[in-house]
Structures are given as structure tokens and as C-alpha cells.
Amino acid sequence: MSKEIVVPFGPQHPVLPEPLHLDLVVEDEKVKEAIPGVGYIHRGLETLVQKREYPEYVYIAERICGICSFIHGMTYCQGIETMMNVEVPERAEFLRVIWSEYSRMHSHLLWLGLFADGMGFENLFMDAWRLREHVLDDMEATTGGRVIQGSAKVGGVRRDISSEKLDEMVTGLEGIRGELKDMMDVFLFDSSVKSRLRNIGMLSPEDAYELGAVGPTLRGSNVASDVRMNGYAAYDRLHFEPVVEDGCDCYARCAVRAKELFASIDLIKEAVQKIPDGPIEVKVTGKPEGEYFSRAEQPRGEVIHYVKGNGTRNLARHRVRTPTMANIPPLVKMLQGCELADVPVITLTIDPCIGCLER
């Protein structure tokens, strides 16, 4: 006679870089229900708007998450700029796109390495992280930081990139492209990888949409939704189409991230070709008043920064809705009916960032 038991998963587990806890209701090795629990690393970052003036707070926004650092800072700045009617120089908008796509590559390569490690492919893990080092080297050379860039600011960006360096970056990315193709042959075509990922963690397009999935989790369920299509920063001047897969399983979500690496290289190359000369920032004076929802596409999906000004140098409110928060309900749906042994791989396919989630 079968009997339901509760198996705890996390907060400490080899596949989890950050503490996420799931209570798994299991019957005969089948997961009947997954009950998530968060709250292990709450840092109170949103409260710091009471202590830091709005130009300084961009440094706090960047530290919501190290992997998504630049895009967090940029999204916050976009909200303040819209609220204060600040027109950002065109060159700064292109630089924001370049660094955003480098951040996406950095994040996806990190995830692919962790995903390979979760499946037991240690050599593949090291290869993905080796390529990630080249991306981080370019980010460090152009911003001064490998993880926390500190280059976004209200009114533009803090650093420029010379034409010679931009050309050098494009040449380096073409070299990375060739190595990526070899690595993706394993992620996308290896029979043992397919056996671990095909028809596992199913999430239908209807469930993905209704449960509020975002990013590769949503696009892996054949829903072409990407905030970059709205044309923020300089994306409206670049050719962009979202990467979509129709498998609705773990393999599809892996394939979306793998193919987005090549899409990011193409976007960076086009941005370098079209970037205009000119200033990289404008002087911002005054005090923000009003409210605005600023949106951007992080590597994990849509992020929303809600900013509210009260006419002083300190914001009245700053609230963040992160991609991981949006993808927890879809994760719960994916886990229903799966084998207990598949839980780690399915959980990894939403690329959970608990530091982002809890702040």
C-alpha cells in the first residue's frame, strides 16, 4: 500500500547555489505536490531608499544580484529618468545594450555550467565557465568590475568604450562563437543529455502564461514574450527576435538559453556597428516626484523596478519584482507528477536566483 511522505529538498543541496527550500509530497517516488519556502537571505535592500539619495541608490540596486548587476542598475535608472523626464544620450543607450548582452552571456554560461554539473558532466561545467571568463574579462576591461559593474547612472553611463576596444570585443566574441558551437553540440545533441531532459518538467504554453512565467522558462513553452521587444535602451534600433522553443520541457528551456548566447553576440555586433559618437551622460538636477514601473529583460526574464518619488532626494518607495519570484509558481507546476530523481534538474531549469528574489 502506497503512502505519501514529505521529503525536504534544500535549502542546502549540491545543485542549489543559493538556499531554496521545497517540501516535496512524494508517493512511490512520484512528486504529488511541491510547497516552496523562501526567506533565508532577506537583506532589507529596499528599505535603504530611506538612507541613500536617489543617485547613490543605483549602487544598492546593482547589489540585488551579482549576476544581473548591470541590468538591475540600468532598470532602476530608467525608472528615475522617466519620472524626471531625463533624455539619455543615444551613445549611452547603445552602451547599455552592449553591457546588458554581456551580462546575459555571463549569466547563461554560468547557468549552463551549473546545469552540466547537476547532470554529472564535470568537464562540460568547466568548459562553460572557461568561456565565461572571457566574457568577464571584457566586462572588467570596460567597466572596471567583473561582477558588480558600477557603470550605470541616472542620466547615462559612467564609462565610455573606445572604438578600438569595441572592435577588439567583437573579434573576441567571434572566437567565443566558434567554441560555443562545439559546446552546444553536447548540450543540444548528446543522447545522454536528451534522455535526462526530454519530456521532463513539462509546462504547457497555457500554464506558463497563466502562472506568470517569464524569460527562458516562458519562451521554452513556445510563448514569444521578451521585454526587449518593447524597445527600451537602444533595442528599438537593433534587429531582435526572441528565441522560442516548443518542447515545453527541460530540454527546451536549456535550448533557449544556449541559442540566446548566439543572439546576444549578434546584438552586440550590431550595436557596435551602429553606436553613434557623442556624450555618454547628461547632468541631472532636481528631485524625483511621481511613480513609474520600469521593465527590462534580465537573463532569467522580466524584471520590474517600481520607483516612487515624493519630491525629496530620497525615494518614498522602491519595489522589485524579480524573474525568480515570477517563475516559482511555474516551477511548482513542473514538479507535479515528476520523478523524485528529476527534481534537481527541473529546479535548475528556472535558473533560480534567491538573492534576487529575497533582497
User: What confidence tier does 2 reach under pLDDT thresholds 50, 70, 90?
Assistant: low
Known binding site for Mg(2+): residues? Answer: 46, 320
Return the pLDDT at 355: 78
List the Cα angle 345/229/177 in 5-degree steps.
55
Return the pLDDT at 16: 76
46-55, 205-214, 306-315, 323-332: the lowest-pLDDT one: 46-55
Is the pLDDT at 61 greater than 60? The verdict is yes
Taking the C-alpha atoms of residue 101 and residue 34, their distance in angstroms, rounded to an integer, is 34
Known binding site for Ni(2+): residues? Answer: 65, 68, 353
Single-letter amino acid, residue 22: L
- The grid cell for 41 is 537571505
Could you tell me what percent of the chain has a pLDDT over 90?
Answer: 72
pLDDT 10s digits, 255-279: 999 999 999 999 999 999 999 999 9
Known binding site: residues? Answer: 46, 65, 68, 320, 353, 356
Residues 201-230 as b/e (b if ≥16 CB within 10 A, e otherwise) read bbbeeebbeebbbbbbbbbbbebebbbbee
Is the pLDDT at 191 greater than 60? The verdict is yes
- As a CATH number, domain 5-358 is 1.10.645.10
Known binding site for Fe cation: residues? Answer: 68, 356
Is the pLDDT at 50 greater than 90? The verdict is no
For residues 224-237, give the mean pLDDT: 94
Could you tell me what percent of the chain has a pLDDT over 70?
Answer: 99
Is the pLDDT at 344 greater than 60? The verdict is yes
Is the pLDDT at 291 greater than 90? The verdict is yes
Is the pLDDT at 80 greater than 60? The verdict is yes
Is the pLDDT at 149 greater than 90? The verdict is no
Return the pLDDT at 1: 54
Domain residue spans of the chain: 5-358
pLDDT 10s digits, 86-100: 999 999 999 999 999
Whether 18 and 355 have beta carbons less than 8 Å apart is answered as yes
The better pLDDT of the pair 271, 7 is held by 271
Return the pLDDT at 160: 95
CB-CB neighbours of 45 under 10 Å: 17
Give every CB contact of residue 138 below 8 A, 6+ residues apart in sequence. Answer: 102, 169, 172
